[in-house]
Amino acid sequence: MSKLITFIIQPGHSLNGEIRVPGDKSMSHRSIMLGSLAEGVTHVKGFLNAEDAMSTLKAFRAMGVEITDPVEGEVTIQGVGKHGLKAPKNPLDLGNSGTSMRLLSGLLVGQNFDCILTGDESLSSRPMRRVTEPLALMGANIKTQEDGSAPLHIKGTKNLQGIDYTLPMASAQVKSCLLLAGMYAAGETKVTEPAPTRDHTERMLNGFGYPVKREGCQAMVNSEGKLTATNIDVPSDISSAAFFLVGASIAKNSDVTLCHVGMNPTRTGIINILQLMGANISILNHREVGGEPVADLRVMTAALKGITIPEALVPLAIDEFPVLFIAAACATGQTILTGAEELRVKECDRIQVMAEGLETLGVDVQVTVDGMIINGGKIKGGEVVSHGDHRIAMAFSIAGLRASAPIKIQDCVNVNTSFPEFRKLATSLGLQLQSIEE
């Protein structure tokens, strides 16, 4: 049984100071995957030492790759080459990590061994047909449970065929899964997305010298490339920085600088949305580090106003909506989100769970099929449940900055999946957060 952690946030307070949040989760996963398949030794800096990225790391160790334990974000991977993975002795347990399961399924269907991918209760209830169906079109032998969920049973095959596939939803995980499968398929694999999603797979493949062609919303690979080891510098995760971008905007007298934040344009929707709401965010020292744009972000208190969120920004801020709902609850007027049905299949149904918590805290919200309407107003104290979802737990912690009484958040142990230092960094800036083990 895992521990039960409850967060208690004392209301009010300001956020002030300068911090560097931990490394980007998406890039950390990919650094292990591609470093393992590369020829030579890859050194990673800024690796996210949190449960999700560690699930990927442990999976590759179980497939025979020597990888050091992360020490202050540094990891060394002894690449085994594109065809060097070995059959794992046991099912690969990917914990809570959807990225590990979806990307690994693509990478493993073309190996010369069979394997089973499992996960925790949340991951085992998430939809996997979005990857298994297109993989089957490529000739993969991959089976889900009857309802389309994990465990996934994969029988490796040498007979994968490239496909020309248009994604039914904007999903970087599905896109990446198919591109990784395409590295083992005959002919060209072409993936077209309905709207731009994070492109770390494409960029990092290029960084390892593996050719990926890109034309508009289409990315293409074939099996002819090889990966050559490289050094990777993972910037801070904008999805973790997001909690403080909102926190310092809504808390009185706040001034926070977030250093070395990844500014890949497929990830900066949170900044665009907050700026449309009137946030005071300065982008400083914009620079390029290892093929990814990076900047320091200074954010100060601002009077936010409600907006209609442009749908094109939704995939570019997909993980930031729990905390954006808190921003909307503190804004003057109405915020309308549409086109975000994907939020219902994240670590929990983030539309329903956030709406229930906001209602408990006295916020006027209306749930819709693909989004939410939030009328800004006052936030009361109360007790909410995170449903084991890290971003829900952290979002309600930030709500405490504007609450009129303490907020108690149940079930917060999963903060460790993406941001184990959250409590330490948040309290160093001024959030009054107490963590209780029950």
Please give the residue ranges that form the binding site for ligand S3P (CB under 6 A): 26, 99, 171-173, 176, 197-198, 318-319, 342
Can you read off the two tokens belonging to residue 330? 């503190």
C-beta neighbour count of 244 within 10 angstroms: 28
Q: Terminus-to-terminus CA distance in the chain, angstroms?
A: 12
C-beta closer to ligand S3P: residue 319 or 389: 319
Rounded least distance, CB 342 to ligand S3P, Å: 5
C-beta closer to ligand S3P: residue 235 or 306: 235
Rounded least distance, CB 169 to ligand S3P, Å: 8
Under 8 Å between Cβ of 248 and 15: yes
How far apart CA 100 and CA 103 sit, in angstroms, is 6
The answer to whether 120 is a known catalytic residue is no
C-beta closer to ligand S3P: residue 24 or 296: 24
Rounded least distance, CB 410 to ligand S3P, Å: 23
CB proximity list for 424: less than 8 A, separation 6 or greater:
none
Rounded least distance, CB 299 to ligand S3P, Å: 22
- Long-range pairs for 276-285: beta carbons < 8 A, 24 or more residues apart: 276/307, 276/309, 276/310, 277/304, 277/305, 277/306, 277/307, 277/327, 277/328, 277/331, 277/335, 278/302, 278/303, 278/304, 278/305, 278/331, 279/245, 279/249, 279/304, 279/327, 280/249, 281/245, 281/249, 284/257
Can you read off the two tokens belonging to residue 223? 């099996």
In the three-class reduction of DSSP (H, G, I as helix; E, B as strand; rest coil), residue 152 is classed as strand
Under 8 Å between Cβ of 47 and 234: yes
Catalytic residue among 24, 237, 319, 389: 319
How far apart CA 152 and CA 197 sit, in angstroms, is 25
Rounded least distance, CB 346 to ligand S3P, Å: 6
CB proximity list for 260: less than 8 A, separation 6 or greater:
20, 235, 236, 289, 294, 296
Phi and psi at 152, nearest 5°, equal: -105, 130
C-beta closer to ligand S3P: residue 196 or 293: 196
Rounded least distance, CB 332 to ligand S3P, Å: 29
Under 8 Å between Cβ of 324 and 270: yes
**Residue with smallest beta-carbon separation from ligand S3P:** 26
Rounded least distance, CB 205 to ligand S3P, Å: 13
Please write down the HEC assignment for all residues of 13-37: CCCEEEECCCECHHHHHHHHHHHHH
How far apart CA 310 and CA 308 sit, in angstroms, is 6
Rounded least distance, CB 27 to ligand S3P, Å: 8
Under 8 Å between Cβ of 124 and 151: yes
How far apart CA 12 and CA 379 sit, in angstroms, is 11
Catalytically annotated residues: 319
